[in-house]
Structure 1
Amino acid sequence: MGSATTQALAASNAALDAASGVDLGVAGELFAAARALADTPALSGALADWGASAPARAKVVSDVFATLQPVTRELLSTVGTQRWSRAADLVDAVEELAIRAAASADAKADVEGELFQFGRVVAGDPQLELALGSRLGEAGEKGRLVEALLGSRTSAATALIASAVVQRPRERRVRELLARAERIVASARGRKVARVTSAVPLSAAQIERIAKLLAAKYDSEISVNTVIDRSVVGGVRVQIADDVIDASVSTRLNDLRQRLAG
């Protein structure tokens, strides 16, 4: 991520934090705006053009998104008047704002956990992952499929986020899109997400202990998602973003075999 994008994203997120009246309707409009920007390179390029003045870019937002709610237009104007390293970064930022807005509108829901569980369902069903990830499918149909699958099983925020992100894959697998959304929600709530893989289910006390250890290591509240994988034999494997802490028996055995093979 370029330095310009880093600063622009921070300013955009700060604008969302300061905004009032942010609800799921606003989140839905932001998701729609992100899709419109992605589908119209001339528009996203115009808003990311450093040569255009901030007032000129703000007018583009006002003209193009005139039918949206005032709070949505104000947030888009903030995004559009920042300096972005690439037009694609601007589009991703609007989608991130949408995810954060949905999570804040449904603050009591376990959105991270629900996104994680849906990601596991998708990863375990090749036909579903193919249907959602295929380039041949119509984006709106994919969104409606996700909404139908989740129904009342998840919070409204989770259903909105999941159904929206699958409509803009950006050459990524569905499980990766859901994982990114999960990380954004956790970040918005001041947490990091840890994926803990073990051979057998962990007790609540074990999960709490792992969370405390990780919180001390990363100086952040930790949201723990657990995965059962018999191949790890024993111990646990922990992943937080790109960091992997592997204390599994299978890994230690593999290391031993490699040393013996010399």
Structure 2
Amino acid sequence: MIGSSREALAAARERFDALTDNTSVDATKLADELAAVTALLDREVSLRRVLTDPAQPGEAKAELAGRLLRGQVGGETVDLISGMVRSRWSRSRDLADAVEELANTADLVAAQRAGTLDDVEDELFRFGRIVSSTAELRAALTDRGASSAAKAGLVHELLGGRADPVTVRLVVRLVTHLRGRSLEAGLEALSKLAAARRDRMVAVVTSAVPLSDRQKQRLGAALAKLYGRKVHLNLDVDPEVLGGVAVRIGDEVIDGTIADRLEEAARRIAG
């Protein structure tokens, strides 16, 4: 997001955090209601445009949102959405994207309260790897001809009883409402959201063999010193790297693998 949408999202996150700091708020219920609002905004494009129309007073848009949602969702959700539509958005689509982010974050709050946020983050990463390496699974989960119920059933069959319930909820919501994204992009966004919930950066670390606990601690400490914040390591093993490790944080890659050094040597010889 850019411009006014970025500012509006930041304000929405602050209101969301203030709300969910109160442990009496049912985070799972909040997630379901915000997901329902996301679906409404996706479905009713004209409504979304009215609620983000910069020519309309913010209070009038908040009143409209309140009339539409009151009685359909709880008061906390109504207040959140009303606050969001009072803000200015660069694009009408950004409002729906922001509501979806808060829905997913609410589920992550539930995991955090249960002490399972680390598990959820790791499970999302591992499931993303499975999807990337299994063409048939990816095809089944992204098949436009398949019903949402069929896709949700497949996720429950794969993850039910093996993954945290929050992981299952997040993946089901994603595969049944991809909203124009690739499945891989959606899973990566969820993983980053989980890391942000703990105010951490995510580093994807690829090595030829599994790292020892000592190696993981040293790497984590080095990356934390480099970036000035705690870094969560998602570990991946790929024998083709031969040795060393490759680290990717966002768009930045730190490649210290033997394979990379061999490729560089080959390029120099060829040059």
TM bracket, shorter-chain basis: over 0.9
Cα distance in 2 for partners of 1:259, 1:116 equals: 36
Task: List aligned pairs for 1:134-145, cutoff 5 A.
Answer: 134-145=143-154
Is the aligned partner of 1:229 residue 2:234?
A: no
1:201 to partner: Cα distance = 0.9
- Which residue of structure 1 aligns with residue 73 of structure 2? 68
Q: Percent identity, please.
A: 37
Partner Cα distance (1:9, 1:125) in 2: 35
Q: Per-residue deviation at 1:58?
A: 1.0
2:47: which partner in 1?
43
TM-score by length of 1: 0.95
2:12 maps to 12
Structure 1 residues 73 and 141: alpha-carbon distance in aligned structure 2, compared to 1, 3 A threshold: farther
Q: What letter is aligned with 1:47?
A: L
What is the alpha-carbon distance in structure 1 between the residues aligned to residue 251 and residue 68 of structure 2?
A: 38
- Give the match for residue 52 of structure 1: 56
223-232 or 135-144, larger mean C-alpha shift: 135-144
> Counterpart of 2:138?
129
Mean Cα deviation higher: 112-121 or 133-142: 133-142
4+ residue segments displaced more than 4 Å: none
Aligned equivalents of 1:37 and 1:239: distance in 2? 35
Which residue of the other structure, out of 167, 174, 182, is the alignment partner of 1:173?
Answer: 182
Give, in whole Å, the separation in 2 of the partners of 1:68 and 1:148: 30
Give a deviation string over 1:121-164, Cα, whole Å, max 9, x none.
Answer: 22222111111122333334323432332212222221111111
CA distance in 1, matches of 2:153, 2:55: 39
Tell me the matched-pair count: 262
Change (3 A) 1:10 1:209: same
Alpha-carbon offset, residue 22 of structure 1: 4.1
Q: Deviations over 1:46-76 (max 9, x none)?
A: 2221111111211222122221011111112
TM score, norm. by length of structure 2: 0.92
Aligned amino acid, residue 28 of structure 1: D
Q: How far apart are the structure 1 equivalents of 2:15 and 2:258?
A: 47
Structure 1 equivalent of residue 121 of structure 2: 112
Q: In the alignment, does 2:104 pair up with 1:99?
A: yes
Structure 1 distance, partners of 2:164, 2:14, is 25
Partner of 2:255: 246
- For the residues of structure 1 that align with 2:94 and 2:167, how far apart are their CA atoms? 23
The 1:207–1:106 alpha-carbon spacing in structure 2 relative to 1, beyond 3 Å, is: same
Q: How far 1:86 sits from its partner (Å)?
A: 0.8
Deviation at 1:171, TM superposition (A): 3.2
Q: Which moved more, 1:135-144 or 1:17-26?
A: 135-144
Q: Distance in 1 between matches of 2:148 and 2:226?
A: 41
The alpha-carbon deviation at position 234 of structure 1 amounts to 0.9
Give me the whole-angstrom Cα distance separating, in 2, the residues matched to 1:218 and 1:211.
11
User: Which 5+ residue runs of structure 1 have no aligned equivalent?
Assistant: none
Q: 1:84 aligns with which of 89, 102, 112?
A: 89
C-alpha distance in 2, partners of 1:77/1:140? 31
The aligned residue for residue 187 of structure 1 is 196
TM-fit CA distance, 1:185: 1.5
Map of 2:224 onto structure 1: 215
Q: Deviations over 1:85-140 (max 9, x none)?
A: 11121111111111111111120112211111111222222111111122333334
Q: Kindly provide the amino acid, as one letter, of the partner of residue 54 in structure 1.
A: G
**Structure 1 contact 22–71 (Cα < 8 Å) conserved:** no
